[in-house]
Amino acid sequence: MTSPGDARRQEIAANLAAVRERIETTCASVGRSPDEVTLVVVTKFFPASDVALLADLGVRHVGENRHQEAEAKVGRCTADGVRGLVWHFIGGLQSNKAAAVARYADVVESVDRVKLVRPLDRGAHERGRDLDVLLQVSLDPPGASQRNGAAAEDLPKLADAVLGAEGLRLRGVMAVAPLGRPALPAFERLTVLVASVRAGAPDADIVSAGMSGDFEDAIRCGATHVRIGSAILGNRPQIK
């Protein structure tokens, strides 16, 4: 007899294999090695039991976007003995929650304003370990509301603030494709922005771009990290 857990495991394993194959095919088509692309499985809205299954299936990197849910899930996984995971925080950050996020996250991908730097640095000090951070940059067209990250012209001062924080390591950039527009040209623009950040921070070699709907374009444009949720775990519940 198979239990519901077995069925879920098989579903996730099949989806994971399909996504990994698409990553490999895309890498091959542009002459990249699949080793250059890290898969971050986005587990928001899904239970800690799914995270445990993912870890068992060889996934190392997981992403969460809401502080309360993330904190509880990290705690649950730790209590259950699920080890070796790298937790990426990828959601919008309130400055009054930033220090708390820095206490459990391994990478904070969504640093989009200078105001977050001090509390993140404080949280990193409190836990006694440096925190990797990415600058989230908006790929919305100039003039549109820059909801999804820092405006490109604000990147240098944001990078300087992170570089000036002892407990933070500037590791690169993160972006979400603009809504309702082709992803490829936006991701191409991101590659140019990365180069400018990297000029002042040689360790900033991470380009986190691409989700379930557009990760192949992101890989074609040089993404080193793709953040994939629904293609692996299924559709999220609609209600927040």
Give the binding site for ligand PLP (CB under 6 A).
Answer: 42, 44, 65, 90-91, 176, 211-213, 227-231
Of the two residues 86 and 163, which places its CB atom closer to ligand PLP in the complex?
Answer: 86
Cβ-based nearer residue to ligand PLP, 134 or 170: 134
Looking at the Cβ atoms of 46 and 104, the one nearer to ligand PLP is 46
Nearer to ligand PLP, 15 or 230 (CB): 230
Show Cβ contacts of residue 147 under 8 Å, excluding neighbours closer than 6 positions. Answer: 138, 140
Tell me the closest approach of the beta carbon of residue 85 to ligand PLP, in angstroms: 17
Contact yes or no for 102/119 (Cβ under 8 A): yes
Shortest CA distance to 57 belongs to which of 39, 80, 75, 45?
A: 39
Provide the minimum distance between the beta carbon of 138 and ligand PLP in the complex, in angstroms, as a whole number: 12
The residues pairing with 228 across neighbouring beta strands, listed in sequence order, are 41
Strands 86-89, 168-175: parallel, antiparallel or unpaired by DSSP? Answer: unpaired
User: Please, what is the minimum distance in Å from the beta carbon of residue 65 to ligand PLP?
Assistant: 4
Smallest distance, Å, CB 214 to ligand PLP?
A: 9
Dihedral, 30, 34, 36, 39 alpha carbons, nearest 10: 120
By beta carbon distance, the residue nearest ligand PLP is: 229
